[in-house]
Chains A and B, each alone.
Chain A
């Protein structure tokens, strides 16, 4: 069994190489190049079912082509009446039984992987993260660690991480194609799944259930780092001083502005899911709000007019947008402040 799996693995590795070379899909996004346990298990079933189904397709198309060439009406034979066959018991049994056998070939691995991927064995001893889906951002709370983050989820490679997921508003769906298949994030119940990344890297995550206007902009990242780096990150995040005074004066002014206008929705330091994302390590994000390039200009624009960047997002209700208290200058200072929030040496760069 193990050897067989190994073979599939090497075979599929070759497959991956071919696909990457032919430019089919972005690495760390595409499900065609699995880099985690769930994605690999699903991919196995995908390959088996494609193989079986291609066989069926070839059979159908062979008969189809033959029939069309051989029995197409010939000139002068318009009125030829062919033999009126009623059917053929033997043939009919054949094309009932063979498909059943083929389906069993697909069904067996399907069932084993379905149970395997739903297993919660070893959950107690593993890293557990509570995931909250919100219109249009993700929140991650590391159980028992006093760590809360948003948008980027740091995990150690080669470990099973158990996610307990629930939505704060409408249904979302958590999908990191290269690492694992998706699972819905419902408002009324906790859904549990696990993910395991095989390689270090920054993996693209997406919301896969229509959740409103900015559904297509609800991206997040899984940052898989080595075990040591992960331990370091945990220590750093636990030792964050949310009130630390920044070095530059603009950033200091920014901190004050932030406290006045933004803290009602955003938290710095470990605190439960709020109206907006937790910004403790905002300085280490790879993207702003999940999708915007991480640049100061973008951040200023975001602060001044979030609606234009992500339609329907909940920051568009912020009071400061109406009372004119934050202008370009203020936003610039806040940006200085936010971008220096780098509590850890371990960043998305560590994963690359």
Chain B
């Protein structure tokens, strides 16, 4: 019924609805659309990179443009595609899994999204304004601080703004999971996806400030003449490397842990079995998160930190393999003895196991400092992190999307197309990246615009480029699937997969207040427990009563727009102080909106009991 209303409304009204919404489900959809868009953009950049490397000494793109491509590919994929897609799943699912009507701070949730989006747009404006950043997504100083033009300024400001959004989002999910769980949903009854979202949010809380600080220092170096990273002024460029990786390493876990959560839920649902070793899985997650902060210098083995530091970080890094191994075996034993149904969601999860195990293997190999002297900054590393980020995170996102699509949109993604997507992408992925391990060891450093003729690198690169095309085809088929499904996809009921967790106890898509009555949780896999005891759905924990909901607001959008405008002012004031006016206008918009938000009472509204009853009868 909400559908038919939507159809009657004009496009403008729908637009306004999304601009002002504070509903976590709609915010999830916006993260999905924006993240998906940036994923395609990053993919396009990747294709240009691979085309340039199809043969030795190719001149498809210029050296300078190539550096812009690799920088933007990495930055886009990590910050603007993977992160938001993870946030899309978290938004769509976490409140439902814990039996909540929304997140703890719906207003902040919307603010987080708009900050991310405007930050991402600001960063990409650089393409049209004299050139994108070109110092690598790691932006090592002093290459980044001396990079001419404004590219790196856009990097600094863009990431600062979108990073603030991520930090806000992380805090919001932390509070949501701590405070908003339904009665009976103790910590040790939370589904693994919620657990991983929880740990990921903690990591965001501690990791992003390091990036914020680093970006501020770089902003001062580039825009205001300081010399934090400038050796000739007594600064030190290695400090940037530390700050970047103190953020950057946990970032990897920020991305992968929710993917682990997806796989845990998917494996358990489609083998019709309780997750094997639930407690161990939870503690492994916590341990990975904790150790993730102790290992950043393994990105810096060749910096010259000395054998003591290298050894400590080597051993700490290897230690992470233990909880990760625990997870792999627990997944395998979840499948063991199960009734395994292989559909698209499950295919991505099953494809993940060998792919990620390979990525984990090379991870341990890279942890061996004295061996890393050979791997570091070569294609071996490129292969490794694509195995964990594509083989782990991207597979996880695809699996999660197939799994929760019915819940988010009320329709089931086409299975045949889903399988075609998986197989082309999976084959393409291994074609592209497996050979790169060898390219690296054969002497091909990463970030090489060209490789020379007669150095034995031609064949491997050709294979790699061919593989990339398969991945592109897979991605296109998925897009087609999305379109076709939204036009004539099979309608989904509340519980299409015989699910185990709370989100499957409510309609697909859920009403905007999620749960008419807050459910009572009686154990792990609450819905499964009820079903196995012969009940149709959850037992309510409260009588039917009025529901309090927050009002929408345009302020988060306006605030982010303010920062976006100020961003341009900060960048261009280095040429002409008149641009500072933009800073004042932008910051004025921001502060003004904050003032309105603080002074104007917004108590939300109530959905009345009678309306709920009417709805229930339909």
Contacts and interface: CB of A to CB of B under 8 A. Distances in A.
Interface of A: 23-26, 29-32, 38-39, 41-43, 45-46, 49-50, 52-54, 56-57, 60-61, 63-64, 67-68, 71-73, 77-78, 80-88, 91-92, 95-96, 99-100, 103, 106-107, 109-111, 113-118, 169-171, 173, 175, 177-178, 180-184, 186-189, 191, 204, 206-217, 219, 291, 311-312
10 contacts: A30-B443, A32-B441, A43-B374, A71-B340, A82-B272, A95-B326, A106-B368, A114-B370, A173-B302, A217-B450
Nearest to B146: A170
**9 closest pairs, A vs B, by CB?**
A181-B373, A25-B442, A188-B231, A26-B456, A216-B448, A113-B370, A87-B277, A191-B304, A53-B361
Contacts of A64: 332, 353-354
A64 B336 CA distance: 9
Contact of A175 (B328, B370, B445, B452): B445
B422 to A, nearest CB: 15
A25 to B, nearest CB: 4
Interface in B326-345: 326, 328-330, 332-333, 335-342
B365 A177 contact: no
Contact of B236 (A38, A173, A188): A188
B269 to A, nearest CB: 13
Nearest to B241: A171
Contact of A188 (B238, B333, B342, B374): B238
Contacts of A117: 307, 370, 373
A86 B238 CA distance: 48
B442 A215 contact: no
A41 B447 CA distance: 26
B530 interface: no
B374 A182 contact: yes
B294 interface: no
B455 A208 contact: no
A86 B237 CA distance: 51
B374 A46 contact: yes
Nearest to B300: A184
B611 interface: no
Contacts of B350: 68
B579 interface: no
Contact of B302 (A24, A68, A181): A181
B449 interface: yes
Contact of A32 (B274, B339, B442, B451): B442
A62 B326 CA distance: 16
Nearest to B328: A60
In this complex, the member of B146, B280, B304, B315 whose beta carbon has the largest number of chain A beta carbons within 10 angstroms is B304
Nearest to A118: B307
B499 to A, nearest CB: 14
A86 B274 contact: yes
Interface string B359-374: 0011011011111111
B443 A31 contact: yes
Given A83-B337, A183-B302, A107 B314 contact: yes
B143 interface: yes
A91 B365 contact: no
Given A53-B364, A71-B338, A103-B319, A114 B311 contact: yes
Given A171-B143, A188-B231, A189-B304, A181 B374 contact: yes
Given A71-B336, A118-B307, A26 B302 contact: no
B455 A26 contact: yes
Contact of A92 (B274, B326, B443): B326
A132 to B, nearest CB: 14
